[in-house]
Amino acid sequence: MAHIKVEENIPGIRSLVLFRPETGKSLYDLAQVLLRGPSSLPEAERELIAAYVSYRNDCMFCMKSHAAAARCLYGAEEKLVDEVLNDMQQSNVSNKMKALLHIAGKVQILGKEVRLEDIIAARSLGADDKEIHDTVLIAASFSMFNRYVDGLASFTPTDATVYEEMGKRMVNGYLPPSSEQS
């Protein structure tokens, strides 16, 4: 049960956005730009960064929903998502992606943990400044989203099929829910 009075059975951030749409719209707009806007990082990789940070923050709603979206976007390579969540270093994502996930993991702990050598390593593997920037901003934003969802004890479904459906919907982008469509 949520710590505040929100619509029951509306999962995660969606119930909080319905509670306070004037702040929720900005959060959804940020997610849309970061996860679906123009970028040389594929949408699947950006969703994977969001899922990875959420996993590290132990935010089950965000981890499961963004992992589901990443699986949909990866298609035949969907197993990469679980490989990263189980052991990022041993996963079959590219070395560039591992370097970006390493940076995201440091941001999840504390932004000041990111060192110049982390940036140099990512650049040496082909990451450009916009990819590094977006990785840091995705990690920072999802740390905030995770704390928002968990700090208000938002409803977290346990049924895996709920997340599969969310993932399919999220692939199409991030539009704030309205009370009619919740």
The pLDDT tens digits for 121-150 are 999 999 999 999 999 999 999 999 999 999
- pTM of the shown model: 0.95
Q: How far apart are CA 21 and CA 119, in angstroms?
A: 36
pLDDT at position 180 is 43
Question: At residue 156, does pLDDT exceed 50?
Answer: yes
Report the alpha-carbon distance of residue 71 to residue 50 in Å, rounded.
12
Each residue's pLDDT tens digit, 31-90: 999 999 999 999 999 999 999 999 999 999 999 999 999 999 999 999 999 999 999 999
More reliable by pLDDT, 182 or 178: 178
CATH fold for domain 12-170: AhpD-like (1.20.1290)
Distances (CA, A) of 20 to 65, 96, 120: 21, 38, 41
In angstroms, what CA-CA distances link 157 with 12, 57, 63, 82? 8, 17, 12, 19
Q: pLDDT digits over 21-47, tens only?
A: 999 999 999 999 999 999 999 999 999
Residue 176: pLDDT band by 50, 70, 90 thresholds? confident
Tell me the backbone φ, ψ of residue 10, rounded to 5 degrees.
Answer: -100, 115
Residue found by looking up tokens 């956005």 in the block? 17
